[in-house]
Structure 1
Amino acid sequence: MQNTAVNMNGKNTSTVGKLSKVDPHGFERGDDFDYATYEQFESEYLTVLAHRTMRWDKMMKNGTKMKITDGGAVKRFCRKGIPSSYRPMVWMNLSGAQEKMGNSLDLYEKLLETGCSNDLELIELIKTDLDRTFPDNVYFNSKMGDDKRQSLYNILLAYGRRSPEVGYCQGINYVAALILLVVKDEEKSFWLLSTLLDDILPHYYTKSMVSLRAEFK
């Protein structure tokens, strides 16, 4: 059964049963999506999620704790899933991105203001992929008032300027877009992307893709 609902931006969205045709991260569900099975799974899994959220609330002191460090309990909790409300903060802390951002105040803004020698090529490459990034997501295809394409462009441009040896490599746009959808903060998303590509997965997203090619051997 299809109904009409109003989302937080005041726009009408179609629903099937209790579910919107757009998932919480903005991806439109396909015509072959099994709403009945998903609703059944969600209703059964709700108690598990509630229990895990309560444990996270206790560890995070109901959201008042603003820093988290690696440890046995944290690792176990993360492996079972991080509640969406804590995900940005946990990602920033455990990855090291929060420390990087704190040690480089105003760098993100300066990167967006200051050009570099490869700007023309960099901008052309980014713009070529921008409209190709998750075209089935309402946040990247102008179907919502909160269009995130400008933020995505800024993040990719700033990263390319900060890491000219990488610049822009196809595929980075999807990684940055997913981070942005979860974190919902442009500057934090930039630092998470930088930490992921430079420290956690170095040489994966480069012109030669050395590490990625080694994985395929």
Structure 2
Amino acid sequence: MVAFSTLSPEDQATALHVRKVYAHLEQVGVPGDGFADGIERTREHRRLSTNPHTQQSIDLTEPELAVLRCADRYGFFKNPGSERLIPLNPRTFFPSTISKPNPEVNSITHQSSKEHEIEANRISKWTEMLEGDKRDEGSNIISYKLSDEWESQRERFSKRCYKGIPDRWRRAAWDLLIKDYGIRNQVGKWESVEALFEKFEEDAMLPSDQDVQIDLDVPRTINGHVFFHTRYGRGQRALFQVLHAFGMYCETCGYCQGMGPIAATLLNYFDAQMAYVCMVRLHDWYNLHTIFAPGFPGMVECFYVQERVIEYLLPDVHNTFTAQMISTSSYATKWYITLFANTVPFEAQLRLWDVLFLDGIDVLILASVAIVYALRGQLGPGNDFEMILSKLGGRFELGEGGAIGWIRSIRKLGRRKDLRSIMSSARVKWKGFVKDGSASKMVT
């Protein structure tokens, strides 16, 4: 935990005010939660009312219904905005042989009925695969496990994860995949869920000099989502609680902005306590400690591995990057530190996390390589520094079938023995560079 005493008296008072506001509003609530914008309180030091806000009617008002009509299936408001999107043609993902994407492919009619049919079929399959593992005092299932039949069909189970976990089962599946990853990889640090729940509650009562920065970041972490829309609403309070506690979990990492989008995504499926547990597991078991630690050593290692794969798979692109002095960090830092949040459409991000929780951090490297591969016709010889970064530095639009193509590409790349060998060899070499002090010279 970062010492609270490092703050000046004035900053201590501000940090205490921040915690007081969140704690108070957790008790009394916020009017119009999810519908109204809310008002700023921590930076304006508004006086806090001692009266609980009137309970909202079960019946929604017409303005509230209008807000919900503007939200998609994941709770994001349908706002076209002015952000420039970079299309990724699903036909150009590995192992495609198309050299340049065809922009006309993205204009495919949306087949919602077909999607519903596929989703219903997957729900049925996952219902058969999973069974209750633990129950609460009321006999409600709180965690799941693979059925005995499926324990012996791991390869088939992996394929189903890559095909996509249905939303209805995603919370249970993510919880199962994370636990299973810890068991399969024999992780050294294993705190029980109950112990982490207790730690979460204890840390919620402690001050932190990171609270002011967290409070500044909370309202801008996940823009345009109904759960996080209202200032100090339930979603923003939960996000603050998770980031406050997780920022105190590791003294080395503390808090950094990349943690916010990760926590916000988890809060779409878990309550604050379980979102915190998942963050801890990612930190301890999936080596996100090295991603978040000062200097981002784990991320730099991933950059080196990614560069070796691109050098082998796409030599023309690698040579162009080298000639144009384009470093991997200049475009991929955001990808790794947020686990692709706010980089690809939310549905695609969820699909990526399905397989990240299954197979670990190498998935991020393969996901990055898959994007570079899909854009290879726009990144190779003849493209200059600005042209290349304009393609890699924005938000991607995958279009119809794009998420499926991206995840399929990740799986196919990951199953190639030559690429697995290159990745393993690169990690061994990197450890040697770190040991002899030459690592900083080995990444572009």
SS at match of 2:291: coil
Post-superposition shift, 1:130?
A: 1.1
Could you tell me which amino acid in structure 2 is paired with residue 23 of structure 1? D
Post-superposition shift, 1:74?
A: 2.7
Task: Please tell me whether Structure 1 or Structure 2 has the larger radius of gyration of its CA atoms.
Answer: 2
Give the 3 Å change call, closer, same or farther, for CA 134–64 of structure 1 in structure 2. closer
Could you tell me which amino acid in structure 2 is paired with residue 60 of structure 1? L
Partner of residue 245, structure 2: 158
Q: Deviations over 1:160-200 (max 9, x none)?
A: 111121110111101100111132x1101111111113321
Out of 116, 134, 138, the residue aligned to residue 226 of structure 2 is 138
Partner of residue 186, structure 1: 272
Matches of 2:222 and 2:289, distance apart in 1: 24
SS at match of 1:91: helix
Partner of residue 27, structure 1: 76
Q: Deviations over 1:98-139 (max 9, x none)?
A: 973145452211121234xxx12x112211211211221122
Could you tell me which amino acid in structure 2 is paired with residue 12 of structure 1? L
Could you tell me which amino acid in structure 2 is paired with residue 187 of structure 1? Q
Partner of residue 261, structure 2: 174
Point out the structure with the larger helix share. Answer: 2
Could you tell me which amino acid in structure 2 is paired with residue 129 of structure 1? D
Q: Does 1:113 align with 2:162?
A: no
Matches of 1:160 and 1:113, distance apart in 2: 13
Give the 3 Å change call, closer, same or farther, for CA 38–173 of structure 1 in structure 2. farther
Matches of 2:128 and 2:142, distance apart in 1: 10
Out of 169, 177, 198, the residue aligned to residue 94 of structure 1 is 177
Q: Does 1:197 align with 2:280?
A: no
Partner of residue 49, structure 1: 119
Post-superposition shift, 1:38?
A: 8.9
Post-superposition shift, 1:85?
A: 2.2
Q: Which stretch shifts more, 80-89 or 151-160?
A: 80-89
Could you tell me which amino acid in structure 2 is paired with residue 84 of structure 1? D
Give the 3 Å change call, closer, same or farther, for CA 84–65 of structure 1 in structure 2. same
Partner of residue 77, structure 1: 160
Could you tell me which amino acid in structure 2 is paired with residue 47 of structure 1? E
Post-superposition shift, 1:43?
A: 1.4
The TM-score, its normalising length taken from structure 2, stands at 0.40
Q: Does 1:67 align with 2:153?
A: no
The unaligned stretches of length 5 or more in structure 1 are: 1-7
How many residues are aligned here? Answer: 196
Give the 3 Å change call, closer, same or farther, for CA 141–29 of structure 1 in structure 2. same
Q: Which stretch shifts more, 90-99 or 50-59?
A: 90-99
Post-superposition shift, 1:55?
A: 0.8
Matches of 1:205 and 1:101, distance apart in 2: 22
Contact kept in structure 2, 1:156 and 1:176, CA below 8 Å: yes
Could you tell me which amino acid in structure 1 is paired with residue 167 of structure 2? S
Matches of 2:141 and 2:195, distance apart in 1: 23
SS at match of 2:111: helix
Give the 3 Å change call, closer, same or farther, for CA 38–57 of structure 1 in structure 2. farther
Matches of 1:43 and 1:58, distance apart in 2: 23
Contact kept in structure 1, 2:214 and 2:244, CA below 8 Å: yes
CA RMSD of aligned residues (A): 3.1
Partner of residue 3, structure 1: none
The TM-score, its normalising length taken from structure 1, stands at 0.77
Partner of residue 58, structure 1: 128
Q: Which structure is higher in RCO with an 8 Å CA cutoff and minimum separation 6?
A: 2
SS at match of 1:182: coil
Contact kept in structure 2, 1:93 and 1:99, CA below 8 Å: no
Contact kept in structure 2, 1:169 and 1:206, CA below 8 Å: no
Matches of 1:94 and 1:149, distance apart in 2: 27
